Each structure stands twice: as structure tokens, then as C-alpha cells.
Amino acid sequence: MDTHNIGGLRRIGRPDWDFPYQRRWETADIAILVFVYRGEKLVAKKIGLLQSKRLYPDNNDVDDDDEIGFLHGMNAFIRREASQAIAALHRNFAFNQSCIYGAMQAGSHQIQSIESLNRNFGKTVYYLLYNPHIIPLSVRYPLQQRIRIDRPAVGCRVFDADYVHQVLSGLNEGESPTFSMIESAGLTSAWPLETWAADLLLTCQVGQAFEDSRDTEVRYFLERRSGPIGAALAASITLPDN
């Protein structure tokens, strides 16, 4: 398995062909590619993309993304602040069924882009929703003791984009869905991340296969974005010659 930091387009500036968009929405921020070999010959390729959204606490105490850091991508790790914001560690977070996925908004350009990609290329983009291990949950930072999690009741879940967009279609423009809304609509998906990746993507039940003729489109997904994909993984599977 290979991983790669794709980097951001900030290095080369905003392309002229993207006018008038000052900041383009990405369709996904995690890419997983699967390459299947028979012996030494590449016989199949497929891709799955994940658009990540986190559940906001009930007080919406969430730091907005720093735009410059976003465009720098993983390279922002070396661009540290002059002072350490230790005070920011003292916080209370509470999660319940009415908490929202605040970065997911009905009628946004991002939703349209995901629908267009899945319609034209094939169902490739899924939502990866970051949730606490249980709901409801209340946490105070800094932690006073270790929290042991053996088997999360909720945690990271992958949802079919169609189900998520059905929920969004019932909201007013700019509104965000709640945890309970998404849960009630996506019962046929709601896969744990490891189930989606290992049991479904690698067994060709989700994601989209593609031929060499579509390599340019796949490169477009990974490279032509407003910021860096947080992670790109490539898994190679080798079958016996016979």
C-alpha cells in the first residue's frame, strides 16, 4: 500500500480556466485507488473518493479552517504559530442527536459538484462522517483520565451520497443536516470506515472501475482542486498467473 501527499495548487496559483471561482470546492479529500494485477500485468483499476465532514458539538465550538493552511496542505505542519494556544485546550464538548454537520450545507456548490461527478463518471464519491464513539457524549478537555474505546457504537461512518443529498434536498438553502436526519436516511449504508474500505471497496461492491482512457479524469479528481487531498492511498492486489 502506498500513501502520498498531493499538495496544493497554491504553488502554481489560481488557473485562468477556473475564473470566476476564487476558491473551488473539492469533491473529495480522501482518495483510495485499487490496482489489480495478474502476475505482473495490470488488469483492473478502480477508485473510491471520500468527502469528510465532522459532527459539530451542540455549542458549535469549532475552529474554522485556516484558508492559507488549507491551501498549503500537509506542508502547513512546518508552518507553526509563534505562540502555543494552550488556552484553547480547555473546552467542553457535548454531542447529541440534534447536533449538525455544520460544513455540509443544502444548495452548496460542493453538493452539485459531487452529484455531477457521480452522474458522469460513475458512483465514486461517498461521505465519511466523523462522529464520537457514542452519542450522546459529553467531554471536557483536557482529559482527567484515559478513555478506553473497544468497539465504537457510532464513530466514523461512510454514507452513500444519494442518501445524504436526499436529506439535504428537504432543507432550506444553507441549512445543515443533524445527526438524526442522516442516520434515519442512510440505514442501508452507514458503514464503518473499515467495512467500506476492506469489505466493499476491495471486493468491488463500491467505487468505480476505470480504463486507461479515463486516466486523465482520475488525475483531474486528484490534482485540480482548491486544496490538497488529505490522504491518497493506493492498494495493489496481485492475483496468481493462473
Q: How far apart are CA 122 and CA 163, in angstroms?
A: 16
Quick: pLDDT tens for 188-226: 789 999 999 999 999 889 999 999 999 888 887 777 655
Q: How far apart are CA 72 and CA 79, in angstroms?
A: 9
Alpha helices in 20-124 (DSSP H): 67-72, 109-120
State yes or no: pLDDT of 172 exceeds 80: yes
Is residue 10 very low, low, confident or very high in pLDDT (cuts 50, 70, 90)? very low
Rounded to 10 degrees, the C-alpha dihedral 138/141/146/149 comes to: 40
Is residue 160 very low, low, confident or very high in pLDDT (cuts 50, 70, 90)? very high
The Cβ-side half-sphere exposure at 82, using a 13 Å CA radius, reads: 0
What's the whole-number average pLDDT of the chain? 82
What was the pLDDT predicted at 22?
44
Residue 77 DSSP label: G
Is residue 228 very low, low, confident or very high in pLDDT (cuts 50, 70, 90)? low
What was the pLDDT predicted at 18?
45
State yes or no: pLDDT of 241 exceeds 90: no
- Candidate from 13-22, 79-88, 197-206 with smallest mean pLDDT: 13-22
Q: Which three cell numbers stand for residue 220?
A: 483531474
Q: Which of 13, 11, 31 is nearest to 22 (CA)?
A: 13
Averaged pLDDT, 19-36: 71
State yes or no: pLDDT of 9 exceeds 50: no
Distance, C-alpha 62 to centroid of its chain: 17
What was the pLDDT predicted at 69?
60
State yes or no: pLDDT of 48 exceeds 60: yes
Distance, C-alpha 83 to centroid of its chain: 30
Rounded to the nearest 5 degrees, what angle is found at the Cα of 64, between the Cα atoms of 181 and 108? 50
Quick: pLDDT tens for 133-145: 999 999 888 888 8
CB 49 within 8 A of CB 206: no
What was the pLDDT predicted at 13?
45
Q: How far apart are CA 15 and CA 112, in angstroms?
A: 21
Is residue 71 very low, low, confident or very high in pLDDT (cuts 50, 70, 90)? low
- Candidate from 14-23, 69-78, 122-131, 233-242 with smallest mean pLDDT: 14-23
Domain ranges of the chain: 2-60+90-239
- How many residues make up the chain in this entry? 242
Q: How far apart are CA 218 and CA 33, in angstroms?
A: 10
